[in-house]
Amino acid sequence: DLALQHFLISAKMGHKLSMDNVKILLTGALQRRLYCAEALQEYEAAVEDMTSTSREEAKQMGAENIRSFII
């Protein structure tokens, strides 16, 4: 149960491997499926929140170019 709680927390923050582990751990009872559905919704919301045009532009610029703006 403790491992599941940790996986749920990190899955809700957008960590894909944790979401995969939640899916594996929660196969079975209806209550467990509800936890999985909730975690999946929050995972998808977190991933969506982490995507933005400025993040995509930053990826295209590359780390070195971004550092030149900071220094």
pLDDT in tens, 16-55: 999 998 888 877 555 667 777 888 899 999 888 887 777 7
Which residue has better confidence, 56 or 29? 56
Q: In whole angstroms, what is the distance from residue 53 CA to residue 5 CA?
A: 32
Q: In whole angstroms, what is the distance from residue 66 CA to residue 58 CA?
A: 7
Q: Measured on CA atoms in the order 59, 61, 62, 67, is the torsion positive or negative?
A: negative
Is residue 6 scored above 60 in pLDDT?
yes
* pTM listed for this prediction: 0.46
